[in-house]
Chains A and B, each alone.
Chain A
């Protein structure tokens, strides 16, 4: 009898179990897949959107003492060090790890597991540049006639913005990147708060006035996919693969979770093949699994040749300083020399 009651309680608990997943606001997966997970495991999923990737991570860190979620998804390699240093994640070596691309396993402690990857890259509106010449080299972007056509995101508030800033650091070096940005500033570059504002408000494709935008290499494919037959080929294209920045997105189990088993099941599920194959057309990034097939529409997405990678240790050490220096030069109008002098 006792055993039976115990079993019933366990079952009831199992069915009532709710797992809260804190994600960035671009999170999206097929509803049918989510329902299937809930049905087969008895775990109810609640997705909590915390804003931009960095903002979401900070919310998890700020609520460390009384966690608001069980699982955190969506922090990227630019913020990996912060997530690890804040000590908010539990290590979990999922059985799926062996199926993941080895180059993505950036955390040897397995507290952050890679889910997907992609590239932040410049995009341009093809219609606008039909009659006009495109810039030929990244340096051209700083010329007034092109800078006034470009919208970027504020790296302090946006993760693609931060990625693009890091791409310029990698491309022009510690000495040159501020000069590049100072010339962009003088040329009239526009700074938006986040990706959706830049893309959906300022980009000419959506009736803005800027035909050059910092977005993703997969954005052209997404345009075709969502156009419902309107576009046979993308209305936009990538520019300057050498300024594309490699981004990996991670998932981790939050310390203090009361649903450890459910959280592990969720992580396994996220790395399972059906979900991984759903990720490209939902979030427009590449699956971390080696054996995941890409959807047909990804033929419009090219992997950038010569894209930029920065060492995670280098990022961890310099991220805050780069953002500070960028803010001083671009938003506050200081001169690069003055900012460089301030380093010592």
Chain B
């Protein structure tokens, strides 16, 4: 948050490439954790480009979590900052306040909901983090999530794992309740200010993003096509065609489930606040916990692909719904009554009047949930079966082995996954923005 607040202030200016940077800030939403973790390793791991080894220190983790949450903070804060600069803040200045005093007495109180909201969201996401701490933390920096996985995968301690999950859900539930009680952010005022030195600003922001996204560049630098080729016909590990095929197949097959769930949920929650909080639950219960839950609840279904797909759908639909809800609420309220008066059945009114207007949001929501499933790590790991190995698991499998080749292959697979997610990201960005 300390980084995203000044950044939000920068973004109220108009400068070259501003839109592109803003879009870039949402990139982490679609990047799978193994990709980011490998990027960080490629940059500052034991065999990193920089030549300093930060593995096993909290710094890599910290970097990773800034990587993931800076965009989030920016998105949440920007509307407040934009609204602020136009109205009350200007008034305070006119009435004679110094810039500092105006910020302290007028700016900060108005920004507080945004800061708290962004902070809570960051907390929620970081608290439930799994992939990064598992791959980067070492045993000393295990999070609750990693501990749950360890208990399960290495010790089969179901009761202890379930206990930890309960603790996690309670903590996150508290955070979400706080979040839901926050006053709504002010709506964005459209006006952007012209920057004094637009190019200098663009350069500065560009440098910051370059630094932030350096792990991805390091990943690209470390990429070798030979490694991709050897991963393709790997003997000791899951070969690339199987992993790629699985990842794509699962993403596409779970999409209809997620679409149906997301749409139904968004429609039912559009006028009911409690339903909205209820629907956030799957975001609270982490992927590892979802996997564990499925294992415990449906022992008979263990090994059936339906189990995996429904777990994916459960994780993906809240993302879809988060994009759909604002779009639904923003629809003109008289649209459906007008259609009904003109003789349409409720279904027809929805299909012909509402859905076309919602379409961009559906499309970008679908892309978001596709990206989420494509890069899914926690559930896949818990429910692992050899024939279900996905790209993320193929990366994880190679990471644990000694030697340069498996590591090279893991890097190559991560680049491939990054390219796929990036493609989805382009799709996503054409539609509505992530809300």
Q: Does B303 have its Cβ within 8 Å of any Cβ on chain A?
A: yes
Contact with B along A36-56 (1 / 0, CB 8 A): 000000000000110110110
Q: Does B299 have its Cβ within 8 Å of any Cβ on chain A?
A: yes
Q: Does B402 have its Cβ within 8 Å of any Cβ on chain A?
A: yes
| Contact (Cβ within 8 A) A55 B153 | yes
Q: Which residue of B lies closest to A207 (CB)?
A: B46
Q: Which residue of B lies closest to A65 (CB)?
A: B302
Q: Does B156 have its Cβ within 8 Å of any Cβ on chain A?
A: yes
Which stretch in A164-172, A195-203, A291-299 binds the other chain? A195-203
Q: Does A63 have its Cβ within 8 Å of any Cβ on chain B?
A: yes
Contact with A along B393-435 (1 / 0, CB 8 A): 0000100111100000000000000000000000000000000
For A51, list chain B residues within 8 Å (CB). 153, 400
For A331, list chain B residues within 8 Å (CB). 139-140, 142
Q: Does B253 have its Cβ within 8 Å of any Cβ on chain A?
A: no
| Contact (Cβ within 8 A) A48 B400 | no
Our pick among B157, B236, B300 for the contact of A65 (Cβ within 8 Å) is B300
For A54, list chain B residues within 8 Å (CB). 154-155
Q: How far does the Cβ of B233 sit from chain A's closest Cβ, in whole Å?
A: 15
Q: Does A271 have its Cβ within 8 Å of any Cβ on chain B?
A: no
Our pick among A48, A55, A196 for the contact of B154 (Cβ within 8 Å) is A55
| Contact (Cβ within 8 A) A63 B156 | no
Q: Which residue of A lies closest to B303 (CB)?
A: A66
A193–B302 Cα distance when bound, in Å, is 28
Q: Does A147 have its Cβ within 8 Å of any Cβ on chain B?
A: no
Q: How far does the Cβ of A245 sit from chain B's closest Cβ, in whole Å?
A: 18
Contact with B along A153-175 (1 / 0, CB 8 A): 01011000000000000000000
For B156, list chain A residues within 8 Å (CB). 58, 61-62, 82
Q: Which residue of B lies closest to A46 (CB)?
A: B386
Q: Does A68 have its Cβ within 8 Å of any Cβ on chain B?
A: yes
For B302, list chain A residues within 8 Å (CB). 62-66
Q: Which residue of B lies closest to A82 (CB)?
A: B156
Q: How far does the Cβ of A200 sit from chain B's closest Cβ, in whole Å?
A: 4
Classify the interface of chain B: helix, strand, loop or mixed: loop
| Contact (Cβ within 8 A) B385 A58 | no
Q: Does A25 have its Cβ within 8 Å of any Cβ on chain B?
A: yes
| Contact (Cβ within 8 A) A191 B139 | yes
Interface size of B by CB at 8 A reads: 29
| Contact (Cβ within 8 A) B300 A157 | no
| Contact (Cβ within 8 A) A65 B303 | yes
Our pick among B150, B152, B236, B402 for the contact of A200 (Cβ within 8 Å) is B402
Q: How far does the Cβ of A23 sit from chain B's closest Cβ, in whole Å?
A: 11
| Contact (Cβ within 8 A) B154 A52 | yes
Q: How far does the Cβ of A54 sit from chain B's closest Cβ, in whole Å?
A: 5
Our pick among A66, A156, A157, A201 for the contact of B304 (Cβ within 8 Å) is A66
Q: Does A194 have its Cβ within 8 Å of any Cβ on chain B?
A: yes
For A201, list chain B residues within 8 Å (CB). 46, 55
| Contact (Cβ within 8 A) B154 A193 | no
Q: Which residue of B lies closest to A191 (CB)?
A: B139
| Contact (Cβ within 8 A) A58 B304 | no
Interface size of A by CB at 8 A reads: 32
Q: Which residue of B lies closest to A22 (CB)?
A: B386
Known: A51-B400, A52-B154. A193 touches B139 (CB 8 A): yes
For A323, list chain B residues within 8 Å (CB). 155
Q: Which residue of B lies closest to A190 (CB)?
A: B56
A156–B150 Cα distance when bound, in Å, is 8
Q: Which residue of B lies closest to A64 (CB)?
A: B302
| Contact (Cβ within 8 A) A25 B400 | yes
Q: Which residue of B lies closest to A162 (CB)?
A: B154
Known: A65-B303, A82-B156, A157-B154. A194 touches B400 (CB 8 A): yes
Contact with A along B102-138 (1 / 0, CB 8 A): 0000000000000000000000000000000000001
Q: Does B9 have its Cβ within 8 Å of any Cβ on chain A?
A: no
Q: Does B350 have its Cβ within 8 Å of any Cβ on chain A?
A: no
A199–B402 Cα distance when bound, in Å, is 9
Q: Give the residues from 187 to 229 in chain A that come closer than 8 angstroms, CB to CB, to chain B.
A: 191-194, 196, 199-201
| Contact (Cβ within 8 A) B150 A191 | no
Q: Does B257 have its Cβ within 8 Å of any Cβ on chain A?
A: no
Q: Which residue of A lies closest to B382 (CB)?
A: A62
Q: Which residue of A lies closest to B46 (CB)?
A: A201
| Contact (Cβ within 8 A) B155 A49 | no
Q: How far does the Cβ of B364 sit from chain A's closest Cβ, in whole Å?
A: 36
| Contact (Cβ within 8 A) B140 A63 | no
Q: How far does the Cβ of B304 sit from chain A's closest Cβ, in whole Å?
A: 7
For B232, list chain A residues within 8 Å (CB). none
Q: Which of B142, B386, B397 has its CB near the most chain A CB atoms (within 10 A)?
A: B386
For B304, list chain A residues within 8 Å (CB). 66
Q: Does B384 have its Cβ within 8 Å of any Cβ on chain A?
A: yes
| Contact (Cβ within 8 A) A62 B295 | yes
Q: Does A303 have its Cβ within 8 Å of any Cβ on chain B?
A: no
Q: Which of B138, B150, B153, B403 has its CB near the most chain A CB atoms (within 10 A)?
A: B153
| Contact (Cβ within 8 A) A154 B402 | no
Q: Which residue of B lies closest to A69 (CB)?
A: B386
Q: Does A302 have its Cβ within 8 Å of any Cβ on chain B?
A: no
| Contact (Cβ within 8 A) B303 A320 | no
Q: How far does the Cβ of B158 sit from chain A's closest Cβ, in whole Å?
A: 10
For A48, list chain B residues within 8 Å (CB). 386
Q: How far does the Cβ of A82 sit from chain B's closest Cβ, in whole Å?
A: 7
A196–B406 Cα distance when bound, in Å, is 13
23 pairs, A vs B, C-beta closer than 8 Å? A25-B400, A49-B397, A54-B154, A55-B153, A62-B302, A63-B303, A65-B299, A65-B300, A65-B303, A66-B303, A66-B304, A68-B385, A154-B139, A156-B139, A157-B139, A191-B138, A191-B139, A192-B138, A192-B139, A200-B402, A200-B403, A331-B139, A331-B140
Besides A25-B401, A48-B386, A320-B157, 17 other A-B contacts (C-beta < 8 A): A25-B400, A51-B153, A51-B400, A52-B154, A55-B153, A58-B153, A63-B385, A65-B299, A65-B300, A154-B139, A156-B139, A191-B139, A192-B139, A193-B139, A196-B402, A320-B155, A331-B140
Q: Considering the complex of A and B, which 3 residue pairs feature the smallest CB-CB distances, nearest first?
A: A66-B303, A196-B402, A200-B402
